[in-house]
């Protein structure tokens, strides 16, 4: 069927007319015979296509078809937002000056920034650095190191230098590692499907959360844009937020990321080895290689020595140990002993004397262990570990769980590899000791009551349970 549109005749040449489609904004040449008069009702409606010009764009720029395609690509069939900031006269016509934007992933993106980034337009009086950041945009949550916990079990995922290393917290029963593995599997499945246009990033502003392929393994990782490179058109720098790896990629390789992949906090935590400094002006390649060989992808234990929070990031100074190292010599000390670093006064050099990190007293004079007093009004997250009645409940604070599991592992490891003479001593009520239990292995306990027949009633400190055992076992 023939479609009719409202037009305004601009010029007539022989039997042809140049017309403007007043509800669409485009021009074309049509035969005079195709023109018909409008009804009074149609003539009373104002034109529904508004002529305007983009605000902030340099008027010296020469437009080409690429720029026009860029505008069409940006807008597509999406709903856009226009804000009138002024007007100007153009050959007797009043042209609106507007700011254009549209929403993508809960963020307003500017048409001007989009065109400038693609080198299709120039910003009036400014360069690429004049691009405006969105007022609000999605971001990753970040997982801070808990200062109340003495030690953290971690996995080292990336090393730049001993001053710039990235770790992942392992979590209770390796829970964080399992979450990461499951999420990575789901991401590979989602992004390995047939590539769809709706997955592509239209404009990579600084702060954008997205998915990016690792330059080395080709897997998709959660990422955040940290810089738009001026010297390389349409190239951006991204940080892979779960491993701390930075790389430069073409923006077209980035993929939009769904909210379900933003639930888990960004797992990479930057740390630096405390108490050491490079030999010379900077870290040597040999020093970096040595540290990478002994820590990367391994389970390590760290002690937080200092934490400074700045505007952009948090700096954590740590002492780092291998998780399975019974002797307890830190990585900090090892690189000093190898001659790759100089020790600062605050570094406590350990000796390889065979003693475990966990202090197990073999002199049979363990002091009574005291629980910290919780003041009235204290609030904390916890788990109930045992309960014999509403009047007798034992709980464990969540912030102490990681150190509890670490202590339990070291306790068992130590007593499985050492013969302790303390087992045959003469016990008295109130003494602290360790005991091997069927379900929990070696645990800390207190002698509560000496009973007939060589039986002893123990209180298991960290489990809140009573246990009846023979003192001679």
pLDDT tens digits, 372-386: 667 777 776 778 888
Tabulate helix, strand, coil % of the chain (nearest 5).
20, 35, 40
- pLDDT: which is higher, 406 or 369: 406
Mean pLDDT for 15-36 is: 92
Token pair recorded at residue 231? 């010297």
pLDDT of residue 232: 81
Q: Residue 206's pLDDT band (boundaries 50, 70, 90)? A: very high
Residue 423 has pLDDT above 80, yes or no: no
- pLDDT: which is higher, 243 or 364: 243
Residue 260 has pLDDT above 60, yes or no: yes
* Nearby residues of 116 by Cβ (< 8 Å), 6 or more positions away: 122, 123, 128, 130, 131
- Of 155-169, 220-234, 258-272, 404-418, the one with minimum mean pLDDT is 404-418
Task: Tell me the DSSP string of 80-124.
Answer: EEEEEEEEEEETTEEEEEEEEEEEETTEEEEHHHHHHHTTSS-BT
Q: Which helix (H) or strand (E) holds 154?
A: strand 152-161
The phi-psi region of residue 453 (left if phi > 0; otherwise alpha if psi is between -120 and 50; otherwise beta) is: left
CA dist list (Å): 6 to 58, 94, 95, 210: 33, 20, 20, 44
Which backbone phi and psi does 420 adopt, to 5 degrees? -100, 115
Q: Residue 351's pLDDT band (boundaries 50, 70, 90)? A: very low
Residue 196 has pLDDT above 70, yes or no: no
Token pair recorded at residue 206? 């600084």
Burial of residue 345, with CB atoms counted within 10 A of its CB: 0-12 exposed, 13-18 middle, 19 or more buried = exposed
Specify the long-range contacts of residues 243-248, CB closer than 8 Å, at least 24 apart. 243/157, 243/158, 243/166, 243/168, 243/267, 243/268, 244/157, 244/158, 244/160, 244/165, 244/166, 244/268, 244/270, 245/158, 245/166, 245/214, 245/221, 247/212, 247/214, 247/215
Mean pLDDT for 295-313 is: 79
pLDDT of residue 327: 53
C-alpha 55/C-alpha 344 separation (Å) is 57
Average pLDDT, the chain: 83
C-alpha 239/C-alpha 141 separation (Å) is 14
pLDDT of residue 126: 59
- pLDDT: which is higher, 59 or 260: 260
- In the chain, what's the furthest Cα-to-Cα distance? 124
Q: Which helix (H) or strand (E) holds 308?
A: strand 299-309
In sequence order, the β-bridge partners of residue 273 are 318
- pLDDT: which is higher, 123 or 257: 257
Q: Residue 313's pLDDT band (boundaries 50, 70, 90)? A: low
Task: Count CA atoms within 13 Å of residue 279 on its CB side.
Answer: 13
pLDDT of residue 372: 67
Q: Residue 312's pLDDT band (boundaries 50, 70, 90)? A: low
Residue 424 has pLDDT above 70, yes or no: no
pLDDT of residue 420: 54
């Amino acid at each position: 069927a023939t479609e009719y549109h409202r037009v305004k005749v601009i010029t007539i040449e022989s039997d042809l007319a140049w017309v403007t489609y007043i509800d669409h904004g485009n021009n074309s040449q049509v035969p005079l015979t195709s023109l018909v008069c409008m009804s009074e009702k149609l003539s009373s409606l104002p034109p529904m296509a508004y002529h305007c010009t983009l605000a902030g764009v340099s008027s010296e720029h020469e437009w080409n078809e690429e720029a026009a395609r860029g505008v069409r690509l940006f807008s597509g069939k999406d709903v856009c937002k226009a804000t009138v900031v002024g007007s100007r006269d153009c050959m007797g016509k009043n042209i609106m000056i507007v700011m254009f934007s549209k929403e993508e992933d809960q963020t307003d993106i500017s048409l001007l920034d989009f065109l400038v980034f693609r080198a299709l337009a120039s910003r009036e009086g400014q360069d690429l650095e004049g691009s405006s950041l969105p007022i609000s945009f999605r971001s990753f949550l970040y997982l801070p190191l808990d200062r109340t916990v003495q030690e953290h079990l971690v996995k080292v995922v990336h090393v730049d230098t001993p001053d710039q290393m990235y770790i992942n917290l392992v979590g209770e029963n390796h829970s964080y590692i399992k979450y990461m593995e499951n999420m990575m599997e789901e991401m590979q499945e989602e992004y390995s499907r047939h590539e769809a246009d709706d997955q592509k990033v239209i404009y990579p502003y600084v702060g954008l959360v997205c998915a990016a392929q690792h330059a080395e393994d080709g897997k998709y990782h959660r990422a955040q844009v940290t810089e738009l490179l001026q010297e390389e058109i349409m190239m951006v720098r991204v940080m892979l937020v779960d491993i701390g790896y930075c790389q430069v990629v073409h923006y077209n390789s980035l993929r939009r990321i769904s909210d379900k992949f933003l639930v888990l906090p960004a797992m990479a935590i930057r740390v630096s080895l405390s108490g050491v400094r490079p030999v010379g002006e900077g870290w040597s390649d040999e020093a970096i290689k040595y540290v990478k060989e002994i820590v990367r992808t391994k389970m390590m234990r760290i002690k937080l020595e200092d934490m400074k929070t700045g505007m952009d990031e948090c700096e954590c100074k740590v002492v780092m140990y291998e998780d399975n190292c019974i002797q307890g010599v830190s990585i900090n000390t090892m690189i000093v002993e190898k001659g790759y670093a100089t020790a600062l006064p605050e570094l406590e050099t350990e000796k390889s004397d065979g003693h475990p990190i966990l202090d197990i007293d073999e002199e049979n004079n363990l002091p009574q262990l005291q629980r910290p007093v919780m003041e009235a009004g204290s609030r904390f997250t916890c788990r109930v570990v045992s309960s014999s009645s509403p009047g007798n409940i034992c709980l464990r604070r969540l912030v102490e769980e990681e150190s509890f599991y670490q202590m339990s592992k070291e306790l068992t490891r130590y007593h499985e590899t050492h013969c302790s003479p303390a087992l045959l001593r003469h016990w008295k009520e109130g003494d602290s000791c360790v005991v091997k239990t069927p379900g929990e292995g070696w645990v800390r306990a207190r002698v509560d009551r000496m009973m007939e027949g060589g039986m002893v009633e123990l209180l298991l400190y960290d489990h809140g349970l009573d246990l009846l055992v023979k003192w001679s076992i």
